[in-house]
Each structure stands twice: as C-alpha cells, then as structure tokens.
Structure 1
Amino acid sequence: MAEAIMDRLRDAGHRLHRHPHGRGAFRDRAGACDVVMMLLPDARAVESALFAGDGFAAALPPDGLVIDLSCISPVEASANATRLADLGALLVDAPAGAGSIVDLGGTDAACARAEPLLRLFTDGVVFAGGPGSGQRARLVRVSDGKMADRKNDDPDGLHRLLRLMAFDGPAESRLGTS
C-alpha cells in the first residue's frame, strides 16, 4: 500500500525522498522539502524523528508541513504541533489505520494544505478539529468497535513499509493551492 501511495503522489508531480528512520542525511533532505509525511510505530519514534539531536524538525523550512500518519495520543500530537509551531512549521495529525477515513487534526491552514495531498490516496478525509483532534477521532472509531485490536491499526503493513516520506512538489502545492 505504501508503494501505491507513493505512486499516486509521484503521478501528481511530487518528488519523493524516503528514509526508514528520518535521521541524519534525511534531515538535510527534509529541510529542502515543503512537506514531510511520516508514519511511525509509536510516540517515542515520532518524538525522536522530529526533535532528537538529529531529528528533522529544526531543519524544516518556514511554513514547512508535517503530516503525521502515526497513531499516538491526542496530547502528544497536540504537543508536537505546538513545538513545530514554535519553529515556524505546521503539523497535521492524520492517523492511518482507522479504516478508509482519515481524520485531520490541526490548524485550518495546516489542514487545508494537507487535505489535497491526502485525497490523492484516500477519499475519506474529514476535518476533526484543532491539533490532536485527528487522534481523538481515531480513538472514537476504535472505541466504537470498528477496529477490534491493535493489529488492525496497520492492516496493510504501512508501519513496516512506510516509515517516513518527504516530498517537494510542483510550485502550486508549495503555495497551498494544489
């Protein structure tokens, strides 16, 4: 599934850079990209990829966008959004694994930029509210019994296949008008 997502993004004119851990050399590439999309296994991995000494958050350009597809707590997602905002970047929490719907949590500006990119590989994109709200909506779906166990959070092996992806696209997407 990760390859299909990347194919759709490439077909839309985006240049992709992929790295399994988001560290070191990837930091330099992420700093030259408009958007970093990540799907990591837990909050500790997200924290490390973003904010560790070799994390990429500090390298993001002004108004850089991070789309976090990881399943973490709403509190952690909101805290990450605040820390990125302090660095001049935006974050959308859009956890994968809640079925065919991707719930967006973030500022209006961040969600407006993320939505057209996410619609390249899913039709069910819903604005859930401010930072952390995408994670809250996922938890509601889980508690409603639509996902019975943790294995269903990653039905297509996305956590194994897609660890971290960054891309820069056509000028229109950099302006948020794609």
Structure 2
Amino acid sequence: MAEVKMVLPPGFQFDPTDEELIVSFLNRRAANLPCYPNIIPDLDSYTAHPWGLHERAFRSKTEWYFFSELKQNRATEKGFWKETGLSEAIFTSNGDEVGIKNFLVFCGDGVHTNWIMEEYRSTTSQTQLRGLNEWVICRVREGKLFDCEEKISCDDDGVELSYLDEVFFSMDGNDQDDEITFPT
C-alpha cells in the first residue's frame, strides 16, 4: 500500500504547545480516534537514527514529530536515545496535569550528539483506564538541550559534570578546618 502525503493549505503553521500535543494529538491517537489534520505518522522511533527522520516523520520548521509505542530499549543501528533524567509535568490552562515530557539525547560512538528528543506521555486517567498509555508523541530537533553548559555522558555512569559543577562540588563545606569569618 502506497503512503499518501497530505497536502496542507498554503501558510499552514504547525507550532503546537505541549498541552496541545498531548490533548489534541496523543490522547486522540491513544484512543484510536481521528486527528485533524492527520499529519503525524506512527514510527518505531527507537530504530530510526535522528538524521533519517526527514524521510519518515512530519517536519515543521526544524522539528520532527511522530507517534511511537513506548519502549525501554531505545537502541538504533547508529547509536541510542539516552534519558537525561530531566522531565517536566505538562498542565492544561486550568491547572490539570495531562502529561509528562521526558528529555533524551542521541548518543553515537560513545558521545552525545546535538539531537534532542522530547518524549510526551499522557497521564490522564481516561487513557490509563483504557490501557492506552503505551503511546508517546515525540518531538525531535537538533540543538542544545538547554542554554547552560550541561554535558550528558553517553556512558552508563549518568551525567558528566561541567566545569562549574566541579568547582561547586569541590566547595561542599565538609572540611572541618575551614571557618567562615565575616569582616567587622
């Protein structure tokens, strides 16, 4: 069966908020309801390397979007998606929590790349009751995770410390000989 490409109207902008990704797209996909426009494809995201997404995922500006089933093994032929340990709760404008956004970086050849995945998972009771929380929606982009100089290690040890982190940890205050004095 050939894949049909949807033709969108001129000037169409796809720039959804985190809330819209979960409520308008992910929850509908998980419940097997139609989305309009139906532009976000289903992919096995964890077998695709990020620079190959342009052929398979929906692209808007510099970001790629796709649905995937949640898996623990995120290995690809060229590397793997590593969880950063950073996550963010997603709330509606009414203050109700509807989902969680996890941040992952793509690691290849033992080093992290500039490819970042934001993996959205629904936490609404409606999808959990139906057993539909295995679907996620992913937003992939190339760039920095944050504006800071935080580095993510692609080893199993976890997060690599930046220079400033090492300076602050070296000043942990456990030396009993050090006294704090104030000018008089």
Q: TM-score, normalised by structure 1?
A: 0.29
* More relative contact order, 1 or 2 (CA 8 Å, 6+ apart): 1
More helix by share: 1
Q: Which of the two has higher C-alpha Rg?
A: 2
Q: TM-score, normalised by structure 2?
A: 0.29
